[in-house]
Every structure is written in structure tokens, then in C-alpha cells.
Structure 1
Amino acid sequence: MPATTTEDFWIATDRGRLHVRHWYPAAGEPAAAPIVLFHDSLGCVELWRDFPEQLADATGRGVIAYDRLGFGQSDPHLGRLDAGFVGEEARDGFRFLREALRLDRFVAFGHSVGGGMAVACAAAWPDDCDALITESAQAFVEDRTLQGIRVAKLSFARPGQLDRLRKYHGDKAAWVLQAWIETWLAPDFAAWNLDEALRQVRCPLLVLHGDRDEFGSPRHPERIAALAAGPVAKHVWEGYGHVPHRENAAAVTALASSWLDTATAG
């Protein structure tokens, strides 16, 4: 049986190059819109591990992931993240990706803060986004989220812990960690939310969350589902934490695949 194949390449933006990986399903050239993955605050292409391959095989769609500027194998980010960085990704990195790959149609799938970015992309191109999937997405700044970040900050302050990030981000690891912690804990970020973007989402939406997510309570999927303008399916897993696609990739891919078949039929 033919295997899923991958292709790595870089695309140019006005601030530096972005590293991109494309998974092609074993079934051959897919006719349906590809799935674009948006990683979390400490994530990158490599940290999706084998989930994109499983997703490509389960859905029969191409899967595309990219390292945001400052992450993974992409070029360094020379500044700080401001309070609008979630929405700005739709007009910045993702816009360049769309243009370079000529993506007329796409499915947006985002994990954690990447879920917010996926929402922003679906809102920015409502006629071109076939479907949207959020996993463990934060819809607003919650005390549980901030407490989880504070705990992680203490953990990463221990000797050798930053090496965990250097494995994936190289010399950019300190910036990646600082960007996550300082941006979310900054006073001017306290009022941030996805409300306006969610009201502009017209495509079908699947909201995934774990009830033991240490970075966000079930209030987040409730708010996402309540505000989106299009049809919504919500699934909160009992016993799952912040990364369901790592805790049970088979369950996530099976649910995403069956939902996509129904949501995009016709």
C-alpha cells in the first residue's frame, strides 16, 4: 500500500522565511481542500509529530503545517508579540502561505492559541474556508490559563528545562518561551478575546476540548460554539488534557474525518 509522502519547503514573507511541510495522503492527489494546521504557543511543525500523517490518511486530504515566524525552522522574529498577534497571523503568515501555495479553498485546524488563529483565518476569508476545527482553543483570557502559564514558567526556570525547547526551536527557544509568557501575562492582553472574529465565522465548526485542560476550562468551547455564526458541533472529552491529538490521536482523527465528511458534503 502506498505511504503518505511529505514535502518540506520555505516561503518568503516581508519579515523572513517560513518553514512549511505538506503531507500528501496515500490515496493520491486529493480533490478536497487541504487542512492547514496552526500550532500552539510553544509548538512547531515537528511537534505535531505523526498526527498530520494520520490526519491525511484518515481524511484523504492534504495536510499543511508551517512554523510561524520565530518558531521551529522559520526565521527569527525580530520583535515582540503585541496584543493583537492572534488575529494578525491571518493577515501575516497565513496570507503569505495562501498566496505561495495558491490555496483557493482550505480547512483551518488550530490547537491552543493556534485555534484562535484558525478562527481568525476563517473569519478573514469566510468564502474560502470550507470548515474550521479548534482544539483546546482559548477564546478569552481566563484565570486557569494564566495559572497554567505561571506554573509552566516556574518549570522552565529549572536548570536544563529550556533544552526541551532548543531541540525544536534552536537558538530561538528563549524568545519562544518569553513570547508566550510575557504576552499572555501582560496587563494589556487581559481583555483579549475571539468574540468579534467568531461572529464572522460562517463555515461549519467543530470545537474540541478536554475537560481536564490545564490551560482552559470548558467555558472556552461553550463560548466558541455560542458565538460562531455557522453550524457548530462541540465535543468535550472526559479525562483529556490540553493536547487531545497527542493523548489519543486515533480518536481525534476519526472524529475530525467523519465530521468533515458530513460538514463539507455537497
Structure 2
Amino acid sequence: MNGLADQGMLELGPETLEYRMIGPRPGDAPTLVLLHEGLGCVGMWNDFPDKLAAATGCGVFVYSRAGYGKSSPVKLPRPISYMHDEARESLPRLLERIGFQRGVLVGHSDGASIAAIYAGSHQDHRVRGLVLMAPHFIVEDVSIKSIAEAREAYNNGDLRARLAKWHPNVDVAFRGWNDVWLNNDFRQWDISEELAYIRVPILIVQGEDDQYGTIRQIEIAQEECYCPVDVALLPGVKHNPAREAPEVTLRTVSEFVDRILRRHEQAAFAA
């Protein structure tokens, strides 16, 4: 896609997706593609994309998946396969549409799971590494407990009002995520098999106090992956490292990105 503006709406088949592009465009430098959490969107990354672009010199592409932010809504209920569908159908079209040439997928929560599914399903040599913040590879009891508490806060607290500031179709955004995770059939969701097919380095950043997942998620990656898996387990941090520990998260992610991109450049130069 030529002439990618700083922000706008991207037509992608039946979907219209909100996006921001910070720094150099995909044809001029590596691109970090940010995939948001289950209730996230472009705006909810705050200034993390801008700081990431400044720290790495890479372009940073941020977008809201269908059903979130200002992107087009989706039909409810979402299928249990919604993260696989995103990784295998929407994300490949998006990368092609923006002219992605080389870079790293940076995902948070649901977005981290989508990035892992993509890398385990596609041998895409443009993707040089994965940054997975608070990823889910299986469904844990702690996940269900916290997601049930989120439903209570949405129905009877102020969560709906807070999310409505970011999501014009707030019920679609919330229920599209919450209803799937609390569906009994979703308890069997497990993407550990995909991890064995990932062929690029991975960085996992997780808070020690993550209310949506335990260190079992990290252990699964270490057990199943044949690729290198770096881990940053952050004390005193819950489910959102980029928001709760922005400095250490930015430094950890930037150092990983610099290292793997430099390694590729050196290998290409040597060849």
C-alpha cells in the first residue's frame, strides 16, 4: 500500500479498520505491527507505539481489529475460533495491504495469541520475531475467574462507561470477547500445538501478578517451542506491562527488537 497516512481507515475486504502509522513506512524500515488485547484498540495503546518507534527507529503500525475502536463491528456471537480466524484470514490480508516487508509482531493478550497462531500457521520470512505480552496459550481457571469479574463490572459497575470512550460499538467489543471466553466449550481452547511450528525468536513479557494468566503460560512456550524464548517476568505488574511498567517494558522490547533485526542484517550482509 503506497502513501500510508499517519492515521485513517483501511478497507480490507468486508472490514474497515482504524489504524495509526508512526515513523518510517514499511518500504523504508522494518515495521512493528501491534496487536491489541481483547478489549483494546488503537487509542488504548496510549503513547507506547510512539515511544517504541523512537526507541527502535522502526515504523510502528497499530490497528483496531474488527469489532473494536472505530473499526467496523462484527456479528455476535463471535465463533470460538475467532483468534484463529483473525490469525489465518484477517492478519495475512492486513500485512499484504500495508506492504509489510520485514519486522516483528508485537501482541498483547488476545493479540499475543493471534501473533503466535499466525507465526505457527504461516512460514512468513518477513516476520523476524514475536513479542508476546501476557499471552494466552491455554485457558486457565484464573482467566475465567477474572473474565467473569469483568462481566460483573461491565453489567453493574463503571466498566461499560469507561470502555465506551474507546469503542463506539461498546457492547460488540465487550461481548465479542467476554461471551466467548465464558462459553464452556472454550475451556478446551489450546494453541500449544501451534507453538511447535514457530521458527523465529520469541520474547514473552508477563507480570508476576497477571490476573488473567499464570507462569504456566510461559512454561508451555518453553516446553513446546523449538525457537529461542526469552522471558521478562515483571514484579508488581498485572496484565498490562506496557501501561503498568512502561519504562522497563519499552526497554526490554526495544532491546529484543534491535538484537533480532541486527542479527538478520548481519546474516544478510555476510551472505
Confirm or deny a common fold (TM above 0.5): yes
Q: Deviation string for 1:238-259 (max 9, x for gaps)?
A: 1111001001211111111112
**Counterpart of 2:150?**
152
Displacement of 1:31 after TM fit?
5.1
The equivalent residue for 1:135 is 133
Which amino acid in 2 is paired with 1:221? I
Q: Residue type matched to 2:23 in 1? A: Y
The answer to whether 1:8 aligns with 2:7 is yes
The 3-state SS of whatever aligns with 1:169 is coil
Post-superposition offset of 1:159: 5.2
Deviation of 1:124 after TM superposition, in Å, equals 3.1
What SS is found at the alignment partner of 1:47?
helix
Equivalent residues of 2:77, 2:179 under 8 A apart:
no
1:45 maps onto 2:79 in alignment = no
Partner secondary structure for residue 162 of structure 1? helix
Residue aligning to 2:163: 165
Secondary structure at the counterpart of residue 188 of structure 2: coil
Cα separation, 2, equivalents of 1:31 and 1:11: 20
Contact in 1 for aligned 2:134/2:239 (Cα 8 Å): yes
Per the alignment, residue 110 of structure 2 pairs with: 113
Aligned ranges 1:172-187 → 2 under 5 Å = 172-187=169-184
Distance in 2, matches of 1:242 and 1:136, equals: 6
Which aligned pairs between 1:1-266 and structure 2 lie closer than 5 A? 7-24=6-23, 32-126=29-123, 127-158=125-156, 160-170=158-168, 172-264=169-261, 265=263, 266=266
Inter-partner Cα distance in structure 1 for 2:221 and 2:79: 23
Gaps of 5+ in 1: 1-5
1:29 Cα deviation (Å)? 8.6
SS at match of 2:130: strand
**Segment of structure 1 superposing worse, 236-245 or 221-230:** 221-230
Please state how far the C-alpha of 1:9 moved relative to its aligned partner. 2.2
The structure 1 segments of at least 4 consecutive aligned residues displaced by more than 6 Å after TM superposition are none
Displacement after TM superposition at 1:72 (Å): 0.4
Give the Cα separation in 1 of the matches to 2:186 and 2:85. Answer: 14
CA distance in 1, matches of 2:127, 2:244: 28
Pairs aligned (count): 258
For residue 262 of structure 1, give the secondary structure of its aligned residue in structure 2. helix
Report the Cα offset of residue 32 of structure 1: 4.2
Q: CA RMSD of the aligned region, Å?
A: 1.8
Whether the aligned pair in 2 keeps the contact of 1:137 and 1:220 (CA below 8 Å) is yes
Once the two structures are superposed, residues 126-171 of structure 1 have per-residue CA deviations (whole angstroms, 9 ceiling, x without a partner) of 322101010001110000000000111111112553111111111x
- Please give the alpha-carbon distance, in whole angstroms, between the structure 2 residues aligned to 1:150 and 1:139: 19
Identical residues among aligned pairs (%): 29
Q: What CA distance in whole angstroms lies between the structure 2 residues aligned with 1:164 and 1:33?
A: 34
Over 3 Å counting, the alpha-carbon distance change for 1:30 and 1:53 in structure 2 is farther
Relative to structure 2, which stretch is displaced further, 121-130 or 135-144?
121-130
How far, CA to CA, are the matches of 2:103 and 2:12 in structure 1?
20
Unaligned runs of 5+ in 2: 267-271
Quick one: distance in 1 between partners of 2:182 and 2:42?
Answer: 25
Asked whether the equivalents of residues 37 and 111 of structure 2 are also in contact (C-alpha less than 8 Å), the reply is yes
Query: What secondary structure, in the 3-state scheme, does the structure 1 residue paired with 2:10 have?
Result: strand
Q: Secondary structure at the match of 1:18?
A: strand
Structure 1 residue 218: deviation in Å?
1.0
Q: Tell me how far apart the structure 2 counterparts of residues 92 and 212 of structure 1 sit (CA, whole Å).
A: 33
Q: Distance in 2 between matches of 1:47 and 1:152?
A: 17
| C-alpha displacement of 1:106 | 2.8
SS of residue paired to 1:44:
coil
Q: 1:125 to 1:106 in 2, by over 3 A?
A: farther
TM-score, with structure 2 as normaliser: 0.90
